[in-house]
Amino acid sequence: MNRIFLASLGVAMAVLTGCDNANQSTTTTNTDTVLVKVVPATLPDTAAFRDTTSAQPTALYILKNGHAQAAVTNYGARLVSLIVPDKTGNPTDVVVGYDNINSYLHRPDTYFGAIVGRYGNRIAKGHFKLDGKEYTLPTNDGPNTLHGGTKGFDAGIWTGKQLSDRSVQLYYLSTDGEMGFPGNLQVKVTYTLTDSNTLRIDYEATTDKATVLNITNHSYFNLNGQGSGTINNHLLMINADGFTPVDSTLIPTGKIEPVAGTPFDFRTQTAIGARINDNNQQLKYGHGYDHNFVLNKSKDSLAIAAVAQGDKSGIVLMVRTDQPGVQFYGGNFMKGTNPIKFGKKDDYRSAFCLETQHYPDSPNEPSFPSTELKPGQTFRSTTTFSFSTK
């Protein structure tokens, strides 16, 4: 493991202690001139997520341990809320989302908290070949297919099963030909909230025909609390010596280039916005950061992909994964037009994503790690989001 990376890990894991005021309605602090009232975050009302107008009803599943809480809906298998203590013990919802199912149903293009697939990220021009046959997908991102097409996993109603007060399992059948992809794909996703304030996501899938698969979670994070303002002052470390540069439509060129000497070098902790306005063609193409980072190889089954820290809250997020890449997206296309939880708006660059994944457009790039899944094989993958304070 390189020394630059080791030096940056000192921020990572001061283990969270109890949250004594988790059930208080308000916390008040005095300053010299202003009385500041801090309102601890609360989970959405489960009744607001019950919708019976579809063929399958929607629901909200609650996960809790002694210090943290999470909420997951079976619409798109989405993470709706994730509440953890900040450095003062104040419960803080660090995930962007809505407080009712109707907002999700009528604004699916935001992908807030969703499981995306069958192929997360982009496939060039909506085409790929597999075993000599060409498949055509609907395009929904300029000339390209994004996150599985016009109706990907994020827009499906999954079958949910609460396993315990800390775990929920969700199932989805993506039928042969859905969005142009081959094979009946059986998908299972399990969310588990551990005692150490880690949200673990386990993925499993099988198919009856050869297909391609790139599944990930598309949560938007603000470690100061969702809707609390810019994330440009958050500190970020990404454990990657290389990234995949893109063309003007955000499709990888097929090359892997070093991050050294570029605005993409997050090997040591750097403020997200420190170089966002640099004169760099890749930043211009992405309107900021919207790029896949090639994670450094590790002997650990779950390697550290990234570490982020809220500049105000002191909340630290560590992401681990067994996937080869992570898409870092800096909220460049957020417009403040969606009413998110607690009466907030999804303002420009007020959240970021760290989507663990295979590389974009891998089915069309033979040099990239394969995303093919064959009959008789079982795809399994795990990503964890661990929270502490500093």
Q: Identify whether the C-beta of residue 383 lies closer than 8 Å to the C-beta of residue 316.
A: no
Beta strands in 24-98 (DSSP E): 27-30, 35-38, 60-64, 69-73, 78-85, 91-93
Residue tagged 């996501």 (tokens)? 201
355 is catalytic: yes
Confidence at residue 40, expressed as pLDDT on a 0 to 100 scale:
81
What is the arithmetic mean of pLDDT over 328-352? 96
What is the arithmetic mean of pLDDT over 231-239? 98
Q: What is the C-alpha separation between 87 and 106, in angstroms, rounded?
A: 36
Minimum mean pLDDT among 95-109, 111-125, 193-207: which range?
A: 95-109
Confidence at residue 38, expressed as pLDDT on a 0 to 100 scale:
57
pLDDT tier, 16 (very low <50, low <70, confident <90, very high otherwise): very low
What is the arithmetic mean of pLDDT over 135-147? 97
- Exposed e or buried b per residue across 205-222, where buried means at least 16 C-beta atoms within 10 angstroms of its C-beta: bbbebebbbbbbbbbbbb
Higher-pLDDT residue of 280 and 39 is: 280
User: What whole-number percentage of the chain has pLDDT above 70?
Assistant: 90
> Angle at the Cα of 102 (from 96 to 105), degrees rounded to 5?
80
State yes or no: pLDDT of 157 exceeds 60: yes
Q: If 0-12 CB within 10 Å is exposed, 13-18 middle and 19+ buried, where does residue 389 land?
A: buried
Confidence at residue 37, expressed as pLDDT on a 0 to 100 scale:
52
Cis check: omega of the bond before 166, within 30 degrees of 0: no
AA letter at 195: D
What is the arithmetic mean of pLDDT over 105-132? 94
The domain locations on the chain are 3-11+41-389
Q: If 0-12 CB within 10 Å is exposed, 13-18 middle and 19+ buried, where does residue 385 land?
A: buried
Confidence at residue 268, expressed as pLDDT on a 0 to 100 scale:
98
Q: What is the CATH number of domain 3-11+41-389?
A: 2.70.98.10
What is the arithmetic mean of pLDDT over 33-52? 77
- What is residue 33's three-state secondary structure? coil
Average pLDDT, the chain: 91
Higher-pLDDT residue of 241 and 56 is: 241
What is the arithmetic mean of pLDDT over 303-330? 98
Confidence at residue 54, expressed as pLDDT on a 0 to 100 scale:
73
What is the arithmetic mean of pLDDT over 149-173? 97
In order of 110, 142, 145, 212, 323, the CA distances from 292 in angstroms are 19, 19, 16, 18, 12
- Exposed e or buried b per residue across 306-340, where buried means at least 16 C-beta atoms within 10 angstroms of its C-beta: bbbbbbebbbbbbbbbbbbbbbbbbbeebeeebbb
4: β partners: none
Higher-pLDDT residue of 297 and 32 is: 297
What is the arithmetic mean of pLDDT over 69-97? 97
Confidence at residue 107, expressed as pLDDT on a 0 to 100 scale:
81
Higher-pLDDT residue of 149 and 109 is: 149
- What is residue 174's three-state secondary structure? strand
State yes or no: pLDDT of 19 exceeds 70: no
Confidence at residue 55, expressed as pLDDT on a 0 to 100 scale:
77
Higher-pLDDT residue of 14 and 350 is: 350
pLDDT tier, 25 (very low <50, low <70, confident <90, very high otherwise): very low
What is the arithmetic mean of pLDDT over 196-219? 98
Confidence at residue 290, expressed as pLDDT on a 0 to 100 scale:
98
Residue tagged 């199932």 (tokens)? 171
What is the arithmetic mean of pLDDT over 71-94? 97
Q: How far is CA 72 from the centre of its chain?
A: 13
Which position among 67, 291, 355, 365 bears the catalytic label? Answer: 355
Q: What is the C-alpha separation between 165 and 86, in angstroms, rounded?
A: 23
What is the arithmetic mean of pLDDT over 10-14? 43
Which position among 67, 147, 178, 218 bears the catalytic label? Answer: 218
Question: What tokens were used for 267?
Answer: 């090997």
DSSP tag of 339: E
Q: Identify whether the C-beta of residue 389 lies closer than 8 Å to the C-beta of residue 85.
A: yes
Q: Identify whether the C-beta of residue 93 lies closer than 8 Å to the C-beta of residue 86.
A: no
State yes or no: pLDDT of 1 exceeds 60: no
Q: Identify whether the C-beta of residue 377 lies closer than 8 Å to the C-beta of residue 256.
A: no
Confidence at residue 341, expressed as pLDDT on a 0 to 100 scale:
96
106 is catalytic: no
